[in-house]
Amino acid sequence: MSLHTLTIAQARDLLKRREISSLELTRAVLDRITALEPAIQAFLTVTAEAALAEARQADAAIAQGRMAPLTGIPIAIKDVICTLGVRTTCGSRILERFVPPYDAFVMQRLKAQQAVMVGKLNMDEFAMGSTTEHSAFQVTRNPWNTACIPGGSSGGSAAAVAAEMCLASLGSDTGGSIRQPASHCGVVGLKPTYGRVSRYGLVAFASSLDQIGPLGKTVADCAEVMQAIAGHDPSDATSAPNAVPDYMAALNRGVQDLRIGIPKSYFESQGLDPQVAAAVRQAITTLERLGATIVDVALPHTDYGVAAYYVIAPCEASSNLARFDGVKYGLRDGGADELLDMYRATRSQGFGPEVQRRILLGTYALSAGYYDAYYRKASQVRTLIMRDFAAAFQKCDLIASPVTPTPATPIGAHADEPLAMYLSDMYTLSANLAGIPGISVPCGFSTDGLPIGLQLQAAHFQEERLLAAAQAFEQATDFHKRKPAL
């Protein structure tokens, strides 16, 4: 048996019964990385030695009967999450040599369970992008077709799970950056409610939208990782104090009692690929067959979501990224002999074109005379989008829709067309504006063999419903069992 093919649930059973060791499992995963990484390029850093040491410690803990759900499980982390002593680049030249002096909250949680970190994953620079082509270092390939993008910005996180170079990963989602690559790579990706998972140690892109979440081979694996990372953290002032439910217990609740809302307008948009529409409609039929009630809902302001998002997110980014100035960490241009020149030279060298574009957009939108027309207006539209969801969730428990309008596109398809790339986020980014949770679960394949995902969204803090419905769907279908030919 090839150990890298295991799910977390399977690996834990074998570890518990002492049929395998974490060291064997970790070695198998590292071997897989060595074999496939040249073709996939999902990792920016592979922490092989540290992983083997952590695996030995996990085995010692298991031998002493101290085993948490993720003990000894090889996991990889998006390179936007700070890892003590391990380079954290955000896919940017400006942080190419940044070594965090502390662990993000989610890393503290994973370490407390003695999960094994095998490396840090590629991403669009500062999580700005939907293709992972905007990494300053490398272009990650889609394991299902290496001529295609894996999606983004957590493209490395999705590709590594799909190619079985880790058992699960962490990503971050500001406008779809977990759900969209999960959909493109045929894995499960969960964006939690805003505030459910601490952002302490997550390098900020747009603070009112950013959220860390898991990507896994199965819904149950995502639930397991979610259980480990969710919870209140005093170090994040926006962290929610709500008690964390038992996500694993919620998994098998089924969909019999659930009303699933279908926003008709989502299926009428011009850019929606007919194959994606057909797969998602089929998935909705499956959920109905499993006992869910299907109802129509309206989200009338969705059409304005992309416009509102591409004001709010760049505004927040232009403010957040002001900290990268060549003083406290990261790159510095040594040529300038005056402070302002040093800032400009450093930032222009250190940031890639997409990041500079968004900083310029945000700075423009926040500048004197434009604030009301852009930031204030977009924030008002955000209220209307939230009200749409609130009204819809009076009529239904979950909203089902596509994740992305098309399957993964060829590498280079959106080069120099930022707006075209932004429009591909139309189904995902309203969840970030509203702060609600969403999940992508595999629901089909295109005729070219590229994965298609089903998105389910729920009201604030209703992750249990998402997981229960996704699990019911997964159990009733075989899409998650298909593996890319690598």
Partner 1 sequence: MKISTEELLHVARLARLRIDPQAADKLAGQVATILEYVDTLAQVDTEGVPPTAHAISVTNAFREDRLAGHLPPDQALANAPAREEDFFLVPKVIG
Instruction: Using the structure block, give the residue that is written with the tokens 């982390």.
Output: 77
> Using CB under 8 A, which of the segments 130-138, 218-226, 245-253, 379-387 binds partner 1?
379-387
From candidates 105, 247, 351, 393, binder to partner 1 by CB under 8 A? 351
> Using CB under 8 A, which of the segments 119-127, 219-227, 341-349, 400-408 binds partner 1?
341-349
The C-alpha atoms of residue 15 and residue 3 are separated, in whole angstroms, by 11
β-bridge mates for residue 74, sequence order: 116
> Using CB under 8 A, which of the segments 14-22, 53-61, 111-119, 432-440 binds partner 1?
432-440
Q: Does 340 bind partner 1 (CB under 8 A)?
A: yes
**What is the distance, to the nearest Å, from the Cα of residue 128 to the centroid of all Cα atoms in its chain?**
12
Of 22, 78, 401, 446, which is the active-site residue? 78
Instruction: Give residues 319-338 in contact with partner 1 (rule: CB under 8 A).
Output: 322, 325-332, 334, 336-338
DSSP 262: E
The yes-or-no answer on residue 22 being catalytic is: no
C-beta of 56: minimal distance to partner 1 in Å? 27
**CA nearest to 426, candidates 313, 266, 260:** 266
Q: Does 195 bind partner 1 (CB under 8 A)?
A: yes
Residue type at position 342: M
Q: Does 386 bind partner 1 (CB under 8 A)?
A: yes
Q: Does 383 bind partner 1 (CB under 8 A)?
A: yes
Instruction: Give residues 292-321 in contact with partner 1 (rule: CB under 8 A).
Output: 301, 303-304, 306-308, 310-311, 318
C-beta of 281: minimal distance to partner 1 in Å? 28
The residue among 186 and 418 lying less far from partner 1, judged by its C-beta, is 418
> What SS3 state is found at 74?
strand
Residue 128 phi/psi, 5-degree rounding, is -100, 100
> Using CB under 8 A, which of the segments 16-24, 155-163, 357-365, 391-399 binds partner 1?
357-365
The C-alpha atoms of residue 252 and residue 285 are separated, in whole angstroms, by 19
Instruction: Using the structure block, give the residue that is written with the tokens 């309008």.
Output: 405
The DSSP line for 286-305 is HHHHTTPEEEEE--GGGGGH
The residue among 380 and 394 lying less far from partner 1, judged by its C-beta, is 380
Of 22, 157, 177, 424, which is the active-site residue? 177
DSSP 401: E
128 touches 316 (CB < 8 A):
no
Instruction: Give residues 451-470 in contact with partner 1 (rule: CB under 8 A).
Output: 460
β-bridge mates for residue 451, sequence order: 445
From candidates 203, 262, 283, 359, binder to partner 1 by CB under 8 A? 359
From candidates 153, 154, 157, 239, binder to partner 1 by CB under 8 A? 239
Instruction: Give residues 83-112 in contact with partner 1 (rule: CB under 8 A).
Output: 97-99, 101-102
Q: Does 265 bind partner 1 (CB under 8 A)?
A: no
Length of the chain: 486
C-beta of 51: minimal distance to partner 1 in Å? 23
Indicate the angle between helix axes 8-16 and 22-40, nearest 10 degrees.
150
> Using CB under 8 A, which of the segments 103-111, 179-187, 354-362, 402-410 binds partner 1?
354-362
Instruction: Give residues 38-77 in contact with partner 1 (rule: CB under 8 A).
Output: none
DSSP 374: I
Determine which helix (DSSP H) or strand (DSSP E) holds 444, and give its type and residue range: strand 438-445
Residue 410 phi/psi, 5-degree rounding, is -65, 150
Q: Does 416 bind partner 1 (CB under 8 A)?
A: yes
Of 21, 22, 130, 153, which is the active-site residue? 153
The yes-or-no answer on residue 235 being catalytic is: no
Q: Cis bond leading into 130, ω under 30°?
A: no
282 CB-contact burial (10 Å; exposed 0-12 / middle 13-18 / buried 19+) = middle
Size of the site for partner 1 (CB under 8 A): 76
The yes-or-no answer on residue 78 being catalytic is: yes
List residues with catalytic annotation: 78, 153, 177
